[in-house]
Amino acid sequence: MRQCTNNHWVLFASLVLWASFVMYPAKAVQAEPYTFSLPITQHEKAADWKNKLTAEERTAISKPDSPNDRIKTYLRLAESRLRSARSYLDREDYTGADEQILGYTALIAEVGQFSKDSVPKRDKAHKTLEVSLREQLRALEGLRRDTAASYAESAEKALKLVNQVRRQALGLLLGEGFLTDTEKQ
């Protein structure tokens, strides 16, 4: 077997990296509390958001016992809402697509609140949530581009909420103060 002769360079590089963390620690970022404010139009009340979810969705959400399984259920239902919204847009039914996006927003707000309140910090459920929301974010951006201008407001608000919940999941997974200012925007 041949032994690597560059071990001293690897050791030197790791020492320099360690020293840079010790000498120049990252600024602690003051974590802002995450609040979920659902977009409410003039015709809707806050209590109507609970009605955006179907009875089947409510029973599916209440079944799983573990936090990771419950988050996976929320995300599966949210993905279903996005697929439904896409099919409505393909048929140029903007009202139906808007209703599906509002239901999606309600699901994301609930999963964000559940993640914040019921899932322990650094749990794998936060990673599951972040990865799934990153994938769904692309689909939601496509929906926003294809939506008529008069219906784009709900998609815009859903995008903001998804980004907010995703950042919250990252903060809970990695620890407070880990994200930089640019990642929080």
Q: What is the pLDDT of residues 123-138, one digit of tens each?
A: 888 889 999 999 999 9
Instruction: Give the residue among 119, 117, 112 at the shortest CA–CA distance from 161.
Output: 112
pLDDT of residue 11: 62
Cα(84)–Cα(97) distance, integer angstroms: 7
34 part of a folded domain: no
> Is pLDDT above 60 for 176?
yes
How are the residues of the chain apportioned to helix, strand and coil, as percentages rounded to the nearest 5?
A: 70, 0, 30
- How many domains, the chain? 1
For the chain, what percent of residues have pLDDT higher than 70?
67
111 part of a folded domain: yes
pLDDT of residue 78: 93
pTM given for the model? 0.69
Contact predicate 34/168, CB 8 Å: yes
The region of weakest confidence among 65-69, 95-99, 167-171 is: 65-69
Which structural domain, as residue segments, surrounds residue 79? 46-184
pLDDT of residue 46: 36
Please provide the average confidence, as pLDDT, over all residues in the chain: 77
Q: What is the pLDDT of residues 16-71, one digit of tens each?
A: 665 665 555 544 444 444 444 544 443 343 345 557 778 888 888 888 778 888 89
User: Which of the 8 DSSP states describes residue 161?
Assistant: H
> Is pLDDT above 90 for 83?
yes
User: Which of the 8 DSSP states describes residue 5?
Assistant: S
